[in-house]
Amino acid sequence: MQIREMTREDFDAFWPVFKSVIEARETYAFDPDMTLEEAYQIWCLYPIVSYVAVENGVILGSYYLKANAAGPGSHVCNCGYMVSPFARGKGVAKKLCIHSQEIAEKHGFKAMQFNSVVSTNTVAVNLWRKLGFRIVGTLPNAYHHAKDGYVDCHVMYKQLMPV
């Protein structure tokens, strides 16, 4: 598996996966009616950088890296990850998260924060914990899950290097 910067062509190929994830309304608080162009802006243009995991020409997953806040909070970054359904359970998210932490440090970020990890997404919550992230807060009923109704979201945090 190769992880490299995402191109516009990569995103266009990844769009069906992205669209299915947001339409499912189980993990991301993105508008399920978002267009391809809106998604491209959010995933690839607003962040500092976006990456894609590819194996044999097939996109397995992607992530973006951006500052979580501006000014005095700009030393903390934020990432979002999506993995293709056929690649789930194969360690892709773990590799993307490890890669994102390395890239974050190269950009000078001191910590990484996930603002809204849906509590019912136990696979992600457990993986992030194994990779050293802590739940530092829980937002009650902050996500309207398509199947489970209103569920909690966790704020998860990891120090990457000393401040």
SS3 letters for 35-73? CHHHHHHHHHHCCCEEEEEEECCEEEEEEEEEECCCHHH
DSSP 8-state secondary structure symbol assigned to residue 146: T
Distance CA 80, CA 101 (A): 12
**Structural Rg of the chain based on CA atoms:** 15
pLDDT tier at 163, thresholds 50, 70, 90: confident
Is the pTM of the predicted complex or chain greater than 0.85? yes
Write the class of the CATH domain 2-159.
Answer: alpha beta
Give the SS3 label for residue 137: strand
DSSP tag of 26: S
Average per-residue pLDDT in the chain?
97
pLDDT digits (tens, 9 = 90+) for 65-89: 999 999 999 999 999 999 999 999 9
Question: DSSP class of residue 95?
Answer: H
Q: What is the pLDDT of residues 89-119, one digit of tens each?
A: 999 999 999 999 999 999 999 999 999 999 9
56 neighbors 47 (Cβ within 8 angstroms): no
**Which sequence spans correspond to the domains of the chain?**
2-159
Of the candidates 20, 23, 17, 27, the residue with the CA atom closest to the CA atom of residue 145: 27
- Summarised one tens digit per residue, pLDDT across range 130-157 is 999 999 999 999 999 999 999 999 999 9
Rounded to whole angstroms, the Cα distance separating 95 from 141 reads: 30
38-70 pLDDT, tens per residue? 999 999 999 999 999 999 999 999 999 999 999
Helices 92-106 and 122-130: crossing angle in degrees, nearest 10, is 50
